[in-house]
C-alpha cells in the first residue's frame, strides 16, 4: 500500500511523469506514472508467465509484439535480444508516444537498439480500419465495432493494418516468438498468420478478449489446436477483467 501511495504522491503532488520501476524484470527503468501502477510495482504480469517468455528468448531471437502498448514486453525482451529483432506494433498514438519515451529514457540501460516501433495494426489482411481512439480507455481501444469500448469512444481514427503473412512476404524477419494482445482482433491476426504459424511454429503469448468480441476465445483455441499447438491458460493475475483470458501456446513439436 505504501508503494502505491508513493506513486500517487509522485504523480499528483510532485507532478512527476516518470519514476523508476521498483521490482521485477525492468527494475530501475524509468516508467510513466500515467499508466497502470502495476508496471512500476513490477508485478504487471504473472512471474511464471514472464519466466516462460524470457526462457524463449536468445540474443538472436525475432520477437513480434502485437499490441505493444507502452512497451513492457518489448523492453523486457530487449534486455536479452541484442542481435535479433523486436517488431513492436502499436497503432494508437497516445500509447505509442509513451513507449517511445520509455525507450528514450532507458537507452543507457538497454543492450541494443533492436526495437522497431511500428505505427500500424495487425489483422487478417492489408486494409484500412476504423479504431476507437479514446484517451479514457487507451489500453482498450479496438476496431471491433460491436465492442462497448468502440461504441463509447469519444473519437475514432483510421489505421493501416497488415497481416503477418504479408509482412513476411515484404521482407520482415520470421518470428520466433509472438505476443498477441489486440483487443478482440486476435482471431483475425491468427488467420492472417496461418502460413507463418504452419511453416515456422513460433511460441505465442495470447490474450483473448471475449469482453470485446464474445466467442473469440474459443475460435482462437480451436484454430491453434488445429495447427498443432498446445495451449495453457495462465490464469488471472493482476488484470481481473471478465472475458479476458491469457494463454501460452507452444507447438506440440517443441514440447
d(CA 236, CA 86): 26
The three grid cell numbers given for residue 35, joined into one nine-digit string = 499508466
Angle at 116 between CA 142 and CA 185, to 5 degrees: 20
Residue 240, pLDDT score: 61
SS3 15: coil
Domains of the chain (ranges, CATH numbers): 1-43 (no CATH), 45-254 (3.40.50.150)
Contacts of 195 by beta carbon, 8 Å cutoff, 6+ apart: 165, 168
Report pTM: 0.95
- Average pLDDT for runs of 10 along the chain of length 255: 92 95 96 93 90 97 97 96 97 95 93 92 98 87 94 95 98 98 97 98 97 96 98 75 90 96
Residue 241, pLDDT score: 74
Amino acid at each position: 500500500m505504501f508503494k502505491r501511495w508513493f506513486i500517487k504522491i509522485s504523480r499528483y503532488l510532485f507532478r512527476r511523469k516518470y519514476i523508476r520501476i521498483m521490482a521485477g524484470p525492468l527494475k530501475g527503468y524509468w516508467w510513466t506514472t500515467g499508466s497502470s501502477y502495476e508496471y512500476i510495482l513490477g508485478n504487471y504480469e504473472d512471474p511464471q508467465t514472464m519466466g516462460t517468455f524470457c526462457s524463449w528468448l536468445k540474443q538472436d531471437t525475432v520477437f513480434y509484439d502485437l499490441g505493444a502498448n507502452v512497451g513492457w514486453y518489448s523492453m523486457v525482451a530487449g534486455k536479452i535480444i541484442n542481435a535479433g529483432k523486436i517488431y513492436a506494433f502499436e497503432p494508437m498514438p497516445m500509447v505509442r508516444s509513451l513507449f517511445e519515451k520509455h525507450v528514450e529514457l532507458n537507452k543507457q540501460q538497454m543492450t541494443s537498439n533492436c526495437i522497431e516501433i511500428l505505427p500500424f495494426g495487425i489483422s487478417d489482411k492489408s486494409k484500412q480500419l476504423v479504431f476507437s481512439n479514446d484517451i479514457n480507455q487507451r489500453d482498450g481501444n479496438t476496431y471491433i465495432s460491436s465492442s462497448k469500448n468502440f461504441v463509447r469512444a469519444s473519437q475514432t481514427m483510421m489505421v493501416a493494418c497488415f497481416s503477418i503473412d504479408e509482412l513476411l512476404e515484404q521482407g520482415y524477419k520470421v518470428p520466433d516468438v509472438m505476443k498477441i494482445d489486440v483487443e478482440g482482433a486476435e482471431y483475425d491476426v491468427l488467420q492472417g498468420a496461418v502460413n507463418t504459424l504452419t511453416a515456422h511454429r513460433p511460441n505465442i503469448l495470447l490474450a483473448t478478449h471475449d469482453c470485446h468480441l464474445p466467442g473469440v476465445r474459443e475460435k482462437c483455441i480451436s484454430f491453434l489446436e488445429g495447427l498443432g499447438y498446445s495451449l495453457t491458460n495462465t490464469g488471472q493475475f493482476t488484470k481481473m477483467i471478465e472475458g479476458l483470458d491469457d494463454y501460452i501456446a507452444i507447438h506440440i513439436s517443441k514440447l
